[in-house]
Structure 1
Amino acid sequence: MERDLVGRLAGAECLVLGAGGFIGANLCPALARAGAVVHGFGRAPAHPEALPPMPWTDAEFQDRAALAEALGGKDVVFHLLGGSIPDLAERDPAEDLRGNAAASVELLELCRAAGVKRMVFISSGGTVYGMPRRLPIPEDHPTDPISAYGIHKLLVEKHLGLQARRNGLQAVVLRAANPYGPYQNPHRGQGVIAALMARRLSGQPVEIWGDGRVVRDFLHVDDMVDAMLRAAVYAGPHRVMNLGSGIGRSILEVVAAVDQVLGLEGADLVFRPGRAVDVPVNVLDVSLIRRELGWTPRTGWLEGLRGTADWLRQSGVLGAGRQDERARALRGCA
């Protein structure tokens, strides 16, 4: 971590909404190392051992009273909540709108009342643009999401822009690619690399939606966190930036790389029908964030995969996943 970045965050009161999740488990320790005063908010963390000593508000996103109290005196808010997952948003768009997008709009009003001046919001670079008209996709590309998840992320972005114009909120939206790395739950239905590794390490077949040629941009969580810290102290004019590797990899290429890292071969591939919400290719143009934040992804592809695999092997989550599957099977037989 660069010395100047540490100095600019030292002493800053930071609230991390969703601190107990995958990104929060990596962000909170980095903030603490930078000298920030970190406060976590959300459900009980899945991996408390990853987090630094810090105050915690155990509450749901929709708990306005708890949220208002947690926002008091905070300099920077990192908004990682309200993301559900694309499949759930598609199954019940109205509930996702109420529980996530609408809750985010209420959050912004609470921030205004509490005097919060800065926010970093993680949006979805993989869904807000829709079908790409040019590659890599720049920030000024048309935003025509083809999924409820992407529409709801974009709605929050627009309300952030409204608060910035009306009330001076210094908000930075990071349209993130597909993050991967330690502390990502492989059984949640999101995070193709963690899920793929878990299935290969457990000897299960690999399910692929479509023909495996869908191309995605993958970003290691360490590089994501680095960008988030920089965004928290950014004073430039840009409010929306892509955050990715700028490199596209097909799902079949990801399978091959994962097998290379795990020392496996001959994956049993099960091809499922393609999904209407999946664009054929998504690769983000990251020239703006490189220029504005002085950021660049530093984690090599195979290096990042090895670290992810090491964590999965050591964490115990693979066994927990097998227990969940047995429990679901027993419920199905009852």
Structure 2
Amino acid sequence: MKLLVAGATGVAGSAFMSLVHEAMPDTVVRGTYLTNPPEATGPNTEYVKADLTDREGCLMAARGCDAAVLLAAVTGGAKSTMDAPYRQTTNNLVMDALLLQALYEQGVKKVIYVSTATIYQEFDGAIHEDDLDLNLDPHGTYFGVGWAKRSAEKLCQFWRDVMGMDIKVLRAANIYGPRAAFDPDRSNFIPALIRKAVDKMDPFEVWGSPHVTRDVIYASDFARGVLAVLNAKTDEQTFNIASGETVTVGEVVDFALKAAGHKPGEVKYIGDAPQTIQHRRLDISRIQAETGWKPCVTPEEGIRKTSEWWNANKKTWKK
């Protein structure tokens, strides 16, 4: 099998590439990237620079591959989501539509498409895959990207049901870990807090409330889940992939400060800073039942590992 990994050098892609090298050493892997340079490669690995918002870039990436894992996405934290939500909307729509068609045209039959939990409407409790209600909008903060990803999931259904491709959809919680985006204008909340802790910010400023809850997943756990679905024999087509548990922003702050050895004089929660949905937890019973996968890394351990990576790479990592 020749496997395409679109978006191979970010937080999710690099973790998945490392896992494939370890678990499937005979698999030939082509990873795409646009801005972040690849890490060291194995003998069966090639990286290609490809603009996946361009038709020719998509066709070039897909050519000669048998299967694909689509991890490439335009992402951002609360600040970028509030300041320029169109960046995650238009670029994701274009990229997903062009890439899915290119895969079909190049004869790629098996595809894992990674979607996002932002497609869900507001919901009390753990939301199951079948709880998605397309008659209700995503949370207002995610209106653009949420509908873009809902549209991409419908395109996956079209290519699967009408055109005969084997496509599975994974709806991912907030993924964090080494090689995440640490740029303050683009980072999600965990890398943002880790950066502030490592930089010894004092007073330590946090956007929003300490009581906001999130379902987060460490990159290596996410990678194992993707591989489990790729190799699974299942008729299910859509899976949540997350920890299935919640962590509060206040707990993440404590874990980040502990990992950095930082004891600020004041932790200051800023109520009028950019905020998103207040509570989210995903039901992961389907992926567990169908594949046997389960997450292993706790938020405290994952934040410690991510903090160690950032401390060692902050002078060279540009994302």
TM range (shorter): 0.7 to 0.9
Equivalent residue, structure 2, for 1:116: 108
Equivalent residue, structure 2, for 1:18: 7
Give the one of 146, 152, 157 matched to 1:156.
152
Per-residue CA distance 1:211-258 (angstroms, 9 max, x = gap) = 221100111111100011111122311111111111111101111122
Inter-partner Cα distance in structure 1 for 2:268 and 2:74: 28
Inter-partner Cα distance in structure 1 for 2:132 and 2:266: 38
CA RMSD of aligned residues (A): 2.4
Shift of 1:299: 1.7
Inter-partner Cα distance in structure 2 for 1:97 and 1:301: 29
Change (3 A) 1:90 1:161: farther
Equivalent residue, structure 2, for 1:27: 16
Inter-partner Cα distance in structure 2 for 1:201 and 1:95: 29
Are the aligned partners of 1:25 and 1:51 in contact in 2 as well (CA < 8 Å)?
no
Shift of 1:274: 5.0
Q: Provide the aligned length of Structure 1 versus Structure 2.
A: 307
> TM-score, normalized by length of structure 2?
0.87
Inter-partner Cα distance in structure 2 for 1:41 and 1:264: 37
Are the aligned partners of 1:71 and 1:116 in contact in 2 as well (CA < 8 Å)?
yes
Letter in 1 for 2:295: P
Are the aligned partners of 1:42 and 1:58 in contact in 2 as well (CA < 8 Å)?
yes
Equivalent residue, structure 2, for 1:283: 281
Are the aligned partners of 1:29 and 1:51 in contact in 2 as well (CA < 8 Å)?
no
Residue 40 of structure 1 pairs with residue 36 of structure 2: no
The residue correspondences of 1:154-233 to structure 2 (distance < 5 A) are 154-187=150-183, 189-205=186-202, 206-233=204-231
Inter-partner Cα distance in structure 1 for 2:112 and 2:105: 18
Per-residue CA distance 1:188-214 (angstroms, 9 max, x = gap) = 523322221111111125433322211
Are the aligned partners of 1:19 and 1:45 in contact in 2 as well (CA < 8 Å)?
no
Letter in 1 for 2:68: V
Residue 136 of structure 1 pairs with residue 129 of structure 2: no
Equivalent residue, structure 2, for 1:145: 138
Give the one of 305, 309, 312 matched to 2:310.
312
Shift of 1:91: 4.3
Can you give the 5+ residue segments of structure 2 that lack an aligned partner in the other structure? none
Inter-partner Cα distance in structure 2 for 1:198 and 1:96: 23
What SS is found at the alignment partner of 2:72? coil
Equivalent residue, structure 1, for 2:264: 266
Shift of 1:56: 2.2
Equivalent residue, structure 2, for 1:9: none
Residue 74 of structure 1 pairs with residue 65 of structure 2: yes
Per-residue CA distance 1:70-125 (angstroms, 9 max, x = gap) = 21221211111233325545544555443221221122111111111111122112
- Identity of counterpart residues, as a percentage? 26
Change (3 A) 1:207 1:50: farther
Name the stretch that deviates more: 13-22 or 98-107: 98-107
Change (3 A) 1:67 1:248: same
Inter-partner Cα distance in structure 2 for 1:261 and 1:42: 30
What SS is found at the alignment partner of 1:41? strand
Can you give the 5+ residue segments of structure 1 that lack an aligned partner in the other structure? 1-11, 325-334
Letter in 1 for 2:94: A
Letter in 2 for 1:145: P
Are the aligned partners of 1:130 and 1:279 in contact in 2 as well (CA < 8 Å)?
no
Name the stretch that deviates more: 71-80 or 84-93: 84-93
Inter-partner Cα distance in structure 2 for 1:300 and 1:107: 34
Residue 297 of structure 1 pairs with residue 263 of structure 2: no
> TM-score, normalized by length of structure 1?
0.84
Name the stretch that deviates more: 206-215 or 223-232: 206-215
Inter-partner Cα distance in structure 2 for 1:94 and 1:270: 30
The residue correspondences of 1:46-125 to structure 2 (distance < 5 A) are 46=37, 48-52=38-42, 54-85=45-76, 87-88=79-80, 91-94=83-86, 96-125=88-117
Quick one: higher RCO (CA 8 Å, sep 6+), 1 or 2?
A: 2
Are the aligned partners of 2:9 and 2:39 in contact in 1 as well (CA < 8 Å)?
no
Are the aligned partners of 2:58 and 2:98 in contact in 1 as well (CA < 8 Å)?
no
Per-residue CA distance 1:130-171 (angstroms, 9 max, x = gap) = 311x31111111343121122211111111011110112211
Shift of 1:66: 2.8
Equivalent residue, structure 2, for 1:330: none
Inter-partner Cα distance in structure 1 for 2:310 and 2:282: 28
